[in-house]
Chains A and B, each alone.
Chain A
Amino acid sequence: MNDSVLQVDDLRVYYWTERGPIRAVDGVNLTVNKGERFGIVGESGCGKSTTAISLLRLIKPPGSIEGGRIVLDGTDILGLSEEEMRKIRWSRISLIPQGSMNSLNPVVRVGSQIEDAITTHEGSKPRGELKDLIRDLLGMVSLPGRVYDMYPHELSGGMKQRVCIAMAIALKPQVIIADEPTSALDVVVQRLVTQMLIRVQKDLRASLVIIGHDMGLQAQLVNRLAVMYAGKVAEVGSVKDMYNDPLHPYTQLLIASVPSVKQKKTLKSIPGLPPTLLSPPPGCIFHPRCPHAMEICRSEVPHLREARPGRIVACHLYN
């Protein structure tokens, strides 16, 4: 579709260990459209953070991108030189990494850190212009101007996270990737920061990719959602479809396990454990835990297919 700004095809990222490769991301396909908020949800070890880091080609050894294509608005990311990639990072695609608010340099003032983020990727600018730009950025994330001269420890968790968001939007990228942007924050602050992320995304007319494990938050935040399991994409669809009528058995179980203050229900959990990614089971990677597993699931890997308009699933139930 011409509307797409980010296209990921068959992405494979493995972590090499003495015992062989850990297939952290094993054939991921995603499409993010212009101006949309796209969520990637999954539990620990599903490969969502690895996917996020790969999009900026920030995977370090022992991890490596083993295959696939990443196309950012017509540019083949994996085909660029390191120098070209450095120019793209932050200016066309940026990342708010997981736990970034705790990674702010404690001995450098906030203003200088944002400056560094800008000048590293865009070269130096006149002092005055830079300061104005940063004050504007702070305003965009609803932080008072005096934060410029403050140290990270003087700020609350929510404020630090907004500094990280300011850094990620400094060069007005087309795609902003946020990995668990509100995980460590209180409920009320989480709502604040989430609302602000939406506002910023709309102002910039950028696309936002939110990686998370909180199904409640994803329901409030994104337009479309991809569910990942053990290094693969299980299902993609609009949030409404996914919550009303989940197709993949894993999605169904995941949604059934999420408690809500709106209704009391028997809590369900998924029996068993996610597979080892060193030697994943044959066929569908979810089949050992799937209540609908059939014979074919044990031997053949299901591929992502459009089961119904706008509903993409990797499951033999829909082939």
Chain B
Amino acid sequence: MENHLLEVRNLTKVFGGGLISKHQTVALQNFSLTIPGDRAVITTIAGESGSGKTTLARLILGFLTPTSGEIIWLGRNIRKMSRKEHITFRRELQAIFQDPYGVYNPFYRVDHVFKTVVSEFKLARSKDGVRRMIGDALEVVGLRPEEILGKYPHQLSGGQRQRIMVARSFLLKPRLIVADEPVSMIDASLRAMILEIMLKLRREFGISFLYITHDLSTAYQISDRIFILYQGSVAETGDATKVIDKPQHPYTQLLIGSIPIPDPTLSWEENIDLPPDEEMGKASETGCKFYSRCPHAMELCRQSSPPLYRIGDDHYASCYLYKDSR
């Protein structure tokens, strides 16, 4: 069995249902994915709010414990790792987050974010060694060390701060970077730089990415594979270009059809409506989660939740419309 880099098996996370609150929320249900170990891949986890994508990121990073299911890193279950294995895991799996300001302590110069990494992981022996490492990492992300080091976070733009965070992750030569909405708080004209850096890290350094986003337009530009999440379950998954060019699940079709295209000649087709109960978050308990909004809903959909059907080469959708394809 070839060694996957990351394997997520039947991961479920339920919030609530304790002594105080009877109400339970199933944030993520029975989620599985694999990221290969032999090549660098950019996998997108896409969804709107309530889809479970942030919960998945937090589970993988170990910020949350799963209710059931396993997260396996290079063949080892992350909850059963020895201390030594765990330190290596922490080095090989890095993260960049959405807010390029909140992650910085405003009292320290930005150099501080590198210093903690270097000392925690004992990356270099001499001061010169450290300086060279940091300089190299900054150049990889297109920043000039002399323009960045010694400055405070507020003196730099969001794009620069985010690139510093990528440089910091890069210092540890990770195998996988979890990027949670890395460009959503950055101006449109500066986003391309971050996305280009992600592509460059994959191409030149073999680093894989798990790109968590609601923005399918950017996902389309950089992803190899994609998972479309809806209310904790996978609606559709497969090769990113195939899924976005020809979505098969009714939710994916609605989602992609609702993206405003930056071309005034291509407009939204017909007007859509949202049933009020759905809006207030009370989706159906049993059956397909998309039932109440689905234009193709059948009786079967109300009774049970559809599994993932293979609908093409590297293209899967969890929808009874495809129950006869295998």
Contacts and interface: CB of A to CB of B under 8 A. Distances in A.
Interface string A102-139: 00000000000000000000000000000000000000
Contact of A243 (B259, B262, B281): B262
Contact of B216 (A43, A157, A254, A261): A261
Interface stretch (B26-34, B123-131, B190-198, B310-318): B190-198
A125 to B, nearest CB: 28
B308 interface: no
B262 A261 contact: no
A156 B281 contact: yes
B161 interface: no
B41 to A, nearest CB: 17
Contacts of B157: 273
B268 A214 contact: no
B218 A259 contact: yes
Nearest to B222: A267
A181 B299 CA distance: 38
Contacts of B267: 220
Contact of B260 (A154, A157, A217, A265): A217
A265 B192 CA distance: 11
B280 A156 contact: yes
A277 B157 CA distance: 14
Interface stretch (A55-63, A75-83, A189-197): A189-197
A253 B268 CA distance: 25
Interface in A253-274: 253-255, 257-262, 264-265, 267-270, 273
A310 B269 CA distance: 28
Contacts, number: 128
Given A187-B259, A219-B260, A267 B192 contact: yes
- The range of chain B's interface size is 35 or more
A144 B279 CA distance: 12
A154 B262 contact: no
Contacts of A44: 158, 187
Given A154-B280, A195-B272, A261 B217 contact: yes
B260 A191 contact: yes
Contacts of A204: none
Interface string B64-95: 00000000000000000000000000000000
Interface in A184-214: 186-192, 194-195, 213-214
Contacts of B218: 259
A262 B49 CA distance: 24
Given A187-B259, A259-B217, A267 B191 contact: yes
A262 B257 CA distance: 11
Contacts of A159: 279-280
Contacts of B274: 158, 188-189, 192
B261 interface: yes
Residue from the set B158, B190, B265, B281 with the largest chain A CB neighbour count within 10 Å = B190
Contacts of B261: 216, 219-220, 260-262
Given A188-B255, A267-B221, A269-B193, 11 more contacts: A159-B280, A187-B255, A187-B258, A188-B254, A192-B273, A243-B263, A243-B264, A260-B220, A260-B261, A261-B216, A273-B157
16 contacts: A44-B187, A157-B49, A187-B214, A187-B258, A190-B258, A219-B263, A219-B264, A243-B264, A259-B192, A261-B216, A262-B266, A264-B220, A265-B221, A267-B221, A269-B193, A273-B157
